[in-house]
Amino acid sequence: MSLLDQRVAETLSGHGVLAQTVPGFQPRQGQTDMAMAVSQTVQEGGQLVVEAGTGTGKTYAYLVPVLLSGQRALVSTATKALQDQLFSRDIPRLVEVLGLPIRVALLKGRSNYLCLHRMEQARHSPESAQPGAQRALAKIETWAQSTRTGDMAELSGLDERSPLWPLVTSTRDNCLGSTCPRYRACHVNLARKEAMAADVVVINHHLFFADLSVRESGVAELLPTVRVTVFDEAHQLNEIGVNFLGQQLSTVQLHELCRDVLATGLQLARGLVDWQALSAQLEKAARDWRLAAGMHRGSVRLRWTGSQPEGVDAFEWADALQAVSAALLQMQNGLDTVSELAPDFQRLADRTRELSQRSALFAQAPNPEGVRWAEVSAQLRLVEAPLDIAQTFQALTRPLPAKRLPPVDTAVISDSSEEQANALFRNALNALDAPVDHVEGLEWLAPRMADQMDSPPSESSPEQGVGQRAWIFTSATLGDEPSLRWFTEPCGLTSAQVMQVSSPFDYAQQAALYVPPHLPRPGDPGHARQVGQLVMEALAILGGRTLVLTTTLNAMRSIGEQLHSQCDAAMNIEVLVQGQSPKRRLMERFREGGGEGRAGCVLVASASFWEGFDVPGDALQLVVIDKLPFPPPGDPLFEARSQRIEQQGKSAFADHALPEAAVSLKQGAGRLIRSETDRGILVVCDNRLSTMSYGRRLVRGLPAMRRLEDHAAFLDALRQLTTDATSGKA
């Protein structure tokens, strides 16, 4: 056992420093097993995939070995909530308890930071004429004088959805980079510098992929310098990655371009070009293009395998796209005539050119290697994406050749030479086999990189070989069978070491599964109503504490309306439905539960509540799932993946649809038991779980709960929960 292994085992043991200092910390075998596997991967390099059941304590299981190793690390999460929790709570607590001299940085996407250059221009934009805008801008300007980080989260009272937000923050499209007059004081760049100087950097998957595809937020510069990369909530990597690695063109991008061209043109080159006319022409083309996609209810994805999206008039579509291209060309010509006047015009011209290229791409036939679709809501968005992230991740995570990169004279680089810095950066990225097409402002990066590459391996990790990076992927749900193929195949991690750590909870004691035999099949028009009826019956006993997860928005609305109309004042139950208030407020209200003058709660929700909604304690004791969560038929991405699977001689149902349903079901069911003392019932209102042969596979994917065979047993179990809750047993 190595020194690091010994320190990890000791730290997580019953007599270790965590047991002595962290309130409520309990040693868990699963946590120690996972931590030892992480420790080994950190030392030897390679890829480790760990599915860690709820309650394992996976955050400490990877943080303890990573922090104790002294290696430079990147930790990526799917959500900002977990990102904040790691940065503000978990890592500082461990760093303090373990007494480690470690610098930690949080890196967010650029839209979270104040852009000094755009703030100075904001008063000239049409949006600043809106009521209240001048006052809000004055508040931002005052705050700008004192903020050190420029993190917009410090600024109370300005919502991310405010029309002012994009006026005072930047995008990759409108940032001037090293030609910006405020470049040295720029908060985005300062945040990146802090990240480069830190030992552990906490990011999120969106940022990670945004950077892999367009290298715009600093992560690409970080990546060559870190030895350990951890992806928590890794089950979301493929879907997030596919969205970022593809090509996109949207009416939102076109409208934003019009807004920026108009504001910049009127401020810096008024009268030289007819900015209003150029902007109006592109605005109109974008609106007509959206109309050409047809009228649809809500948001839909249109399949696109031919020359235009399915169901769209071919001539109208081609004309509309042609008009967009022509308007972009006119705008580009106008911008080119003034490009010498200010760097802003050069950047706007580049941005217009990029959008022109994308409109040309979408005028051609789809790439047969990927999938293309049109997303139609109030806006229109075209996407051409790879089917998964396998190729990208294979290239990224494969072991590096065991040789050092050439030593670099840091004195020369820090003196001046951006080319040298760029060359150094390219060297490092070449080692990753990644293309470099845009490098900006690397003068601060070069010394750090040279330092990393030319220094001997850290004394705290004498066993490590040069160039062997460690990649750790973890989540509570990564598949429905031991090899975790649902996760590893689309992520290109088929040769990774895989481990499953069981939840420490006693599901047979703590939870029960009920599949109501009397309900109609899910396709039956009366199904949602009967589900609502069953929920009403349960509420009459439990008095709330119920989460209803639906697979469609229609079912959510229908069940929500039924509960609203049938829960009378005497029941004292508050019916919460997703969409009626912001998600955070709904979650807070649900967690408060009933009692002490408050009504009990039932929450009816869809999509985003199936995962990441954590309600420990007796505020949640019943989870009702309306149907087996098979992927929606007709989804272009799902169909394209199914087709590829069939071309490989496999079954689209058994090898794709079923594992997808199993993972979603497991995630939904995972809302029920969140601590050792929780008790609850899972109801799946889809009797295919009992009657179809594939139902057994789905049940096997769930934690081993006891079964309630009939309705009487279900009602008894509900009464028992109520009795236990009243007597304080739960």
Question: Looking at beta carbons only, is 178 or 502 nearer to ligand SF4?
Answer: 178
DSSP 3-state assignment of 669?
Answer: helix
Q: How far is the CB of 170 from ligand SF4 (least distance, A)?
A: 4
Spatial distance between the Cα atoms of 11 and 230, rounded to a whole number of angstroms: 20
Q: How far is the CB of 303 from ligand SF4 (least distance, A)?
A: 38
Cα 233 to chain centroid distance, Å, stands at 9
Q: Which residue bears the tokens 């007709």? A: 634
Question: Looking at beta carbons only, is 120 or 489 nearer to ligand SF4?
Answer: 120
Spatial distance between the Cα atoms of 694 and 476, rounded to a whole number of angstroms: 23
Q: How far is the CB of 219 from ligand SF4 (least distance, A)?
A: 16
Beta bridge partners of 49: 473, 498
In 325-414, the DSSP E strands lie at 370-376, 380-386
- CA 398 → CA 46, 451, 468, 617, distances in Å? 8, 23, 9, 43
Question: Looking at beta carbons only, is 86 or 176 nearer to ligand SF4?
Answer: 176
Q: How far is the CB of 185 from ligand SF4 (least distance, A)?
A: 7
Query: Residue 467's CB: how many other CB atoms inside 10 A?
Result: 15
Q: How far is the CB of 172 from ligand SF4 (least distance, A)?
A: 9
Question: Looking at beta carbons only, is 116 or 421 nearer to ligand SF4?
Answer: 116
Q: Which of 241, 175, 245 is nearest to 204 (CA)?
A: 241
Question: Looking at beta carbons only, is 144 or 541 nearer to ligand SF4?
Answer: 144
Spatial distance between the Cα atoms of 372 and 600, rounded to a whole number of angstroms: 46
Q: Which amino acid is at 347?
A: R
Spatial distance between the Cα atoms of 618 and 638, rounded to a whole number of angstroms: 37
Quick one: DSSP state of residue 16? S
Q: How far is the CB of 587 from ligand SF4 (least distance, A)?
A: 33
Q: How far is the CB of 341 from ligand SF4 (least distance, A)?
A: 17
Q: How far is the CB of 571 from ligand SF4 (least distance, A)?
A: 54
Dump the DSSP string for 554-575: HHHHHHHHHHHHH--GGG-EEE
Query: Residue 426's CB: how many other CB atoms inside 10 A?
Result: 14
> Any idea what the Cα angle at residue 135 is, between residues 134 and 139, rounded to 5°?
115
Q: Which residue bears the tokens 């079923």? A: 658
Question: Looking at beta carbons only, is 188 or 658 nearer to ligand SF4?
Answer: 188
Which pair of tokens denotes residue 557? 């609305």
Largest CA distance in the chain: 80
Q: Which of 206, 201, 219 is nearest to 78 (CA)?
A: 206
Q: How far is the CB of 117 from ligand SF4 (least distance, A)?
A: 4
DSSP 3-state assignment of 130?
Answer: coil
Of the CA atoms within 13 Å of residue 663, those in its CB half-sphere come to 21
Question: Looking at beta carbons only, is 187 or 381 nearer to ligand SF4?
Answer: 187
Q: How far is the CB of 148 from ligand SF4 (least distance, A)?
A: 15
Q: How far is the CB of 334 from ligand SF4 (least distance, A)?
A: 21
Spatial distance between the Cα atoms of 117 and 137, rounded to a whole number of angstroms: 14
Of the CA atoms within 13 Å of residue 279, those in its CB half-sphere come to 18
Q: Which amino acid is at 262?
A: L
Q: What are the φ/ψ torsions at residue 367 (nearest 5 degrees)?
A: -70, 120
DSSP 3-state assignment of 481?
Answer: coil
Which pair of tokens denotes residue 333? 């010509």
Question: Looking at beta carbons only, is 218 or 492 nearer to ligand SF4?
Answer: 218
Beta bridge partners of 204: 77
Q: How far is the CB of 194 from ligand SF4 (least distance, A)?
A: 15
Which residues contact ligand SF4 by CB under 6 A? 115-118, 170, 175-177, 180, 182-183, 186, 188
Q: How far is the CB of 171 from ligand SF4 (least distance, A)?
A: 9
Question: Looking at beta carbons only, is 189 or 621 nearer to ligand SF4?
Answer: 189
Question: Looking at beta carbons only, is 216 or 233 nearer to ligand SF4?
Answer: 216
Question: Looking at beta carbons only, is 161 or 184 nearer to ligand SF4?
Answer: 184
Spatial distance between the Cα atoms of 178 and 44, rounded to a whole number of angstroms: 39
Q: How far is the CB of 182 from ligand SF4 (least distance, A)?
A: 4
Spatial distance between the Cα atoms of 521 and 730, rounded to a whole number of angstroms: 34
Question: Looking at beta carbons only, is 186 or 376 nearer to ligand SF4?
Answer: 186
Question: Looking at beta carbons only, is 12 or 439 nearer to ligand SF4?
Answer: 439
Question: Looking at beta carbons only, is 168 or 374 nearer to ligand SF4?
Answer: 168
Which pair of tokens denotes residue 52? 């860690």
In 65-111, the DSSP E strands lie at 73-77, 104-106
Question: Looking at beta carbons only, is 215 or 527 nearer to ligand SF4?
Answer: 215
Q: How far is the CB of 247 from ligand SF4 (least distance, A)?
A: 23
Q: How far is the CB of 145 from ligand SF4 (least distance, A)?
A: 15
Classify strands 600-605 and 573-577 as parallel, antiparallel or unpaired: parallel
Question: Which long-range contacts link 440-444 to residues 24+ away (Cβ below 8 Å)?
Answer: 440/177, 440/178, 441/177, 441/178, 441/183, 441/189, 442/221, 442/418, 443/413, 443/414, 443/416, 443/418, 444/189, 444/193, 444/196
Contact 706, 512 (CB under 8 A): yes
Residue 127: which residues within 8 A CB-CB, separation 6 or more?
Answer: 133, 163, 164, 167, 259
Whole-angstrom distance between the N-terminal and C-terminal Cα of the chain? 41
Question: Looking at beta carbons only, is 122 or 223 nearer to ligand SF4?
Answer: 122
Question: Looking at beta carbons only, is 186 or 717 nearer to ligand SF4?
Answer: 186
Q: How far is the CB of 233 from ligand SF4 (least distance, A)?
A: 28
Q: How far is the CB of 253 from ligand SF4 (least distance, A)?
A: 18
Question: Looking at beta carbons only, is 188 or 269 nearer to ligand SF4?
Answer: 188
DSSP 3-state assignment of 91?
Answer: helix
Please give the torsion angle defined by the CA atoms of residues 417, 422, 427 and 433, in that order, rounded to the nearest 10 degrees.
180
